[in-house]
Amino acid sequence: MNDDTATATNPTGNGLVGLIPVGIALLLFGWFLSLAPAIAEGQSLRLVWDWVPSLNISLSFLVDGLSLTFALLISGIGALVLLYSNTYLAGHPQFTRFALFLTSFMLAMLGLVLADNLIGLFVFWELTTITSYLLIGFGHDTTKGRRSALQALFVTGAGALALLAGFILLGFSMGSFELSVILAQADTLKAHEMYLPILILILAGTFTKSAQFPFHFWLPNAMAAPTPVSAFLHSATMVKAGVYLMARLHPGMSGTDVWFWTLTIAGAFTAVFASILALRQTDLKQALAYTTLMALGTLTLFLGQTSGYAMTAFATFLVVHSLYKASLFLVVGCIDHATGTREADVLGGLGRVMPVTAFAAGLAALSMAGFPPFLGFIGKELKYAGILAIGSEPFIFAAALLTANALMFAVAGIVALRPFWQRTGIALPRKPHEAPWPMLAGPVILAVLGALFGVYPDLLQTSLVDPTVKSLLGSMEDAKELQLWAGVNMPLILSIATVALGAALYLGHKRLRPALGRLVDASPQFDNGWDTFLAGLKGFAAWQTRIIQPGILRRYIFATFATVLVAIGGTMIARQAMPALPDLSDVTFQNVALVVLISAGALLTAITSSRIAAMAALGVVGIGVAMIFIVFSAPDVAITQLLVETLVVVLVAVALLRLPVLDQNGRDRRPVDAILAGAIGLSVTLVLLAVLETPLDLRLTEYFEVTSWPEAFGRNIVNVILVDFRALDTFGEVAVVVIAALSAYALLRTTHPRKDP
């Protein structure tokens, strides 16, 4: 089931919108190509633009062997894929977006591989994440498409956050965010106390991005994207970003036990695991996706090493894989485009109808299977050589690699041979036809390059492999020679074993599938795990939200007051701010009477079940407080208090006419609330007593007393403070009053009250 079916086969594609990106890609490719000779001579090119100097973040770019190899792959394959998709998605209503995203992705990817600043690199890293999210979600009409996009984003995004932490830690530890500076101090870095956390965090980023086990599950799902996207992102470029980063950091971080074991084991395991899964697939694209995983595992495995063989193998296989895998994806796209299906068991005998496609597929598949004289063969030989150079347990890893390669051999047959040669007799959804030339250009050129480099390995060696190895190891001398015939040696024997095992697997793959299926089903289901994780996350989120945000006001108020209590009472105890016992010697009868009056009014308000009693009791408190203001020389305040109290009673009396009685179900006694309330009251009293122990500095008041009449021409100091000394307060206050009135008015007038019964 493919969601990206082309709607037209017009080879002119989408006009300028489709061709401009191709032009951009070609220009970039040309530029990189022009840099190649200089780089091959061991030079490097560095461009720096101070981006955020205050954070030591620059947009610095470094073109060396490693980055140039990637840049050429990205821009070259990019140009072909863009050309291809122009036809593949001809007339699609969202093509413009597609082209924009794909071009952006390409540029971001270039930025990623060229960046020499950790944070700059991270920015591009995340840009590839976003653009790939949008590209995977191109089939956004389906739940599956959206799920895949989210999954890819989430998994790689999670890794990216770890990566960011790792980068920051790395940058702080080494005193610079410039990669070239950091990598120049490899010994310091490896000896740094933060080495291990840095490594773990960065590997979390690279493993997720490069879909290493157990983060691999998002990649096959990402095949929901249109086929050109899969070809470009999920085989040739983006998934290799993780690999790239490990390679980039290799000079600075490799060589430790942790590095070696982590990368080697994860890589090997991913390779074997993925190739087994690949054999099981019937959807051609899915099968390719799993072989991509296998390739990524292999590349990781090599990066775990430090030998010249391993590095050469890495560099070579990187190029080999990009060429054949992109080619094969595009071929699958052509088949899909022509027949309307990608099911391996349905497809067959297309060779006659689609000869050019078949040609490209054949070349690419042979390279993938590792037949001489293709580059794939050289790559495979180097892989075995590299694996045998591993310091410990080489044979275990060689066996793993053998298994993986054999499986890959079988998959190459399934994907690239069977659809063209072997008829199935099952009717195809569409009458097949040869793909138009823009769609053939990519697969053919890439496949031919694979063959070409196989025949002339020197071409690749000098231009890309040696400079890459130099980037990794610091010198080109360690690079091993690429050659088709290196004599009869262990790698060759392993190659022969691979072919034999692979052929057997190919012939028996249909019978093997059920067994593989059982094996896979028995192992942990990471893709289902994703669903479980999401459901768990949502469930947990919903649960915590129900607990914290239940929608019940009383709980909110309770929590708020409980916090108040902890904040005041808790701090009083923790910070030993307790007051001494208060001095009550100056207390008079009048004072006690006032206090009793207010307290009685307050308690009555709290306990009465008659709303009128409550309201009247409130009035008592108000009157009592006014009496305090009278006793303690605040006539203005007392007047205001009494007036406001009166208005409060008036308003409540009006409001109550429409409100029900307080408790229909009798009084509710709330001991817990009472304890909380009492504790808060006690805390407030204690704080206040403590405050009253400190002497009060009256200089503000003294200033007001001295200036009130001579300078502000007023004899009521309180009023002078209100309208002159602190007029701004008063202004704000009257604004509050106006707005309170407007709000209350609006509240009464906008709403549509409940209909009377």
Partner 1 sequence: MEALLAITIGVLVATSVYLMLARNVLRFIFGLVLISNAANLIIFVSGRLTSGAPPLIAEGAEGPVGDVANALPQALVLTAIVIGFGLFAFALVLMFRAYSTLGTLYSDDMRIAEPRTEDTK
Partner 2 sequence: MIDLAAAILVFLGAAMTVAAGVGVIRLPDVFTRMHAATKVGTLGSGLVMAGAALHFAEPGIIVRCVLIVFFLLLTAPIGAHMIGRASLRLGINPWTPRQKQDSKPDS
Partner 3 sequence: MNSIILRVGTRYLCGLLVLFSLYMLIRGHNEPGGGFIGGLIGSTGFVLFALACGTADARAALKVMPQNIAMAGLGIALLAGIAAAVFGDALFTGQWLFINETPEDKGIPLSTVLVFDIGVYLVVFGSILSIVFAMEEEI
Residue with Cβ nearer partner 1 (477 or 663): 663
Q: Please state the closest distance from residue 150 (CB atom) to partner 1, in A.
A: 21
Which CB atom, from 660 or from 695, has the smaller least distance to partner 3? Answer: 660
User: Which of these, 167, 163, 392, lies nearest to 257 by C-alpha position?
Assistant: 392
Name the minimum Å distance from CB 614 to partner 3.
19
The continuous run of DSSP H or E covering 50 comes out as: strand 45-52
Options 190, 192, 513, 611; binder of partner 2; rule CB under 8 A = 611
- Residue 702 Cβ vs partner 1, minimum distance, rounded to whole Å: 9
Least distance CB 591 / partner 2 (angstroms): 18
- Smallest distance, Å, CB 752 to partner 3? 12
Half-sphere exposure of 83 (CA within 13 A, CB side): 21
Helix (H, G, I), strand (E, B) or coil at 212: coil
CB-CB contact of 458 with 362 (8 Å): no
Residues in 693-712 that interact with partner 3 by CB under 8 A: 712
- Could you say which of partner 1, partner 2, partner 3, none residue 34 binds, taking C-beta under 5 to 8 angstroms by partner kind? none
Which residue from 427, 654, 672, 696 is in contact with partner 3, where contact means CB under 8 A? Answer: 654
Q: Which of 114, 126, 116, 125 is nearest to 183 (CA)?
A: 116
Tell me the closest approach of the beta carbon of residue 648 to partner 1, in angstroms: 6
Toward partner 3, which CB reaches closer, 548 or 737?
Answer: 737
| Residue 491 near residue 388 (C-beta atoms within 8 A) | yes
In the bound state with partner 2, the residue whose beta carbon lies nearer, of 548 and 653, is: 653
Burial (0-12, 13-18, 19+ Cβ within 10 Å), 537? exposed
Pick one of 55, 578, 647, 688: the residue that binds partner 3 (CB under 8 A): 647
Q: How far apart are CB 612 and partner 2 at their closest, in Å?
A: 5
State the distance between the two ends of the chain, measured CA to CA, in whole angstroms.
Answer: 59
Q: How far apart are CA 15 and CA 203, in angstroms?
A: 42
Contact 58, 460 (CB under 8 A): no
Binding site partner of 196, from partner 1, partner 3, partner 2, none, Cβ cut-off 5-8 A by kind: none
The residue to which tokens 């074991």 are assigned: 261
> What kind and span of H or E run contains 560?
helix 553-565
Residue 639 in the binding site for partner 2 (CB under 8 A): no
Among residues 100, 83, 98, 93, which one has the least CA distance to residue 12?
A: 83
Query: Is the Cβ of residue 20 or residue 653 nearer to partner 1 in the bound state?
Result: 653
Only one residue has tokens 């879909």, namely 211
Binding flag, residue 741, partner 3 (CB under 8 A):
yes
Q: Does 612 bind partner 2 (CB under 8 A)?
A: yes
651 near partner 2 (CB under 8 A): no
Does residue 537 contact residue 311 with C-beta atoms inside 8 Å? Answer: no
Q: Are 556 and 244 in contact (CB under 8 A)?
A: no
Instruction: CB nearer to partner 3: give 54 or 751.
Output: 751
Q: Which two tokens stand for residue 168?
A: 């920051």
SS3 of residue 68 by DSSP: helix
Q: Give the number of residues written for the chain.
A: 757
Q: What's the min distance (Å) between Cβ of 542 and partner 1?
A: 6
- The site for partner 2, by CB under 8 A, has a size of 5
For partner 3, which stretch binds (CB under 8 A), given 142-150, 446-454, 535-543, 730-738?
A: 730-738
Contact region with partner 2 (CB under 8 A), list: 43-51, 386-394, 538-546, 608-616 = 608-616
Task: Please tell me whether residue 661 binds partner 2 under the rule CB under 8 A.
Answer: yes
CB of 577 to partner 1, least distance (A): 14
H/E stretch holding 57 reads strand 57-63
Task: Report in angstroms how near the CB of residue 151 gets to partner 1 at its nearest.
Answer: 24
Q: How far apart are CA 609 and CA 594, in angstroms?
A: 24
Q: Are 87 and 13 in contact (CB under 8 A)?
A: yes
Selection from 450, 470, 448, 210 nearest residue 315 by Cα: 470
| Binding span for partner 3 by CB under 8 A among 123-131, 394-402, 677-685, 716-724 | 716-724
| Shorter beta-carbon distance to partner 2: residue 612 or 674 | 612
Q: Name the CA radius of gyration of the chain, rounded.
A: 38
723 binds partner 3 (CB under 8 A): yes
612 binds, among partner 3, partner 1, partner 2, none (CB under 5 to 8 A by kind): partner 2
Report, in Å, the least distance between residue 531 CB and partner 1. 18
Distance CA 410, CA 523 (A): 22
Q: What is the rounded CA–CA span in Å between residue 263 and residue 170?
A: 19
Helix, strand or coil, per DSSP, at residue 64: coil
- Cβ proximity to partner 3, 589 vs 713, nearer residue: 713
DSSP secondary structure letters along 1-49: --S---S---TTTTTHHHHHHHHHHHHHHHHHHHHHHHHHTT--EEEEE
Calculate the alpha carbon distances from 607 to 83, 171, 604, 620, 667 in Å.
81, 64, 5, 15, 9
Q: Is 731 in the site for partner 3 (CB under 8 A)?
A: yes
- Which residue's CB is nearer to partner 3, number 607 or number 650? 650
| DSSP 8-state code for residue 63 | E
With CA atoms as reference, report the closest residue to 14 among 87, 100, 102.
Answer: 87
CB of 660 to partner 3, least distance (A): 14
Closer residue to partner 3, CB minimum distance, 361 or 638 = 638
Question: CB count, 10 Å around CB of 451?
Answer: 19
Sequence-ordered list of residues with C-beta below 8 angstroms from that of 654, at least 6 positions apart, any chain: none
Using DSSP's 3-state secondary structure scheme, residue 524 falls into coil
Token pair in block for residue 67: 């980055």
Q: Does 140 bind partner 2 (CB under 8 A)?
A: no
- Choose the stretch contacting partner 2; rule: CB under 8 A; options: 142-150, 464-472, 597-605, 607-615: 607-615
Q: Which of partner 3, partner 1, partner 2, none is residue 625 near (CB under 5 to 8 Å by kind)?
A: partner 1
Residue 716 is a binding residue for partner 3 (CB under 8 A): yes
CB of 613 to partner 2, least distance (A): 8
Out of 493, 567, 639, 706, point to the residue binding partner 3 (CB under 8 A): 639
Closer residue to partner 3, CB minimum distance, 552 or 654: 654
According to CB under 8 A, which one of 392, 610, 701, 716 is a site residue for partner 2?
A: 610
Supply the minimum distance, in Å, between the C-beta of residue 744 and partner 3.
Answer: 5
Cα(325)–Cα(328) distance, rounded to whole angstroms?
5
Task: Tell me if 734 contacts partner 3 by CB under 8 A.
Answer: yes
Closest CA to 287 of 241, 211, 343: 343
Q: Closest approach of Cβ 656 to partner 2, in Å?
A: 9
Q: How far apart are CA 471 and CA 245, in angstroms?
A: 12
| Complex with partner 3: residue 595 or 644, whichever CB lies closer | 644
Q: Is residue 646 involved in binding partner 3 (CB under 8 A)?
A: yes
Q: How far is the CB of 703 from partner 1 (least distance, A)?
A: 10
Which CB atom, from 581 or from 728, has the smaller least distance to partner 3? 728
* 610 binding partner (options partner 2, partner 1, partner 3, none; Cβ < 5 to 8 Å by kind): partner 2
Using CB under 8 A as the criterion, which residues of the chain lie in contact with partner 3 when the complex forms? 635-636, 639-640, 643-644, 646-647, 650-651, 654-655, 657-658, 712-716, 719-720, 722-724, 727-728, 730-731, 734-735, 737-738, 740-742, 744-745, 748-749, 753
Binding region for partner 2 (CB under 8 A): 610-613, 661
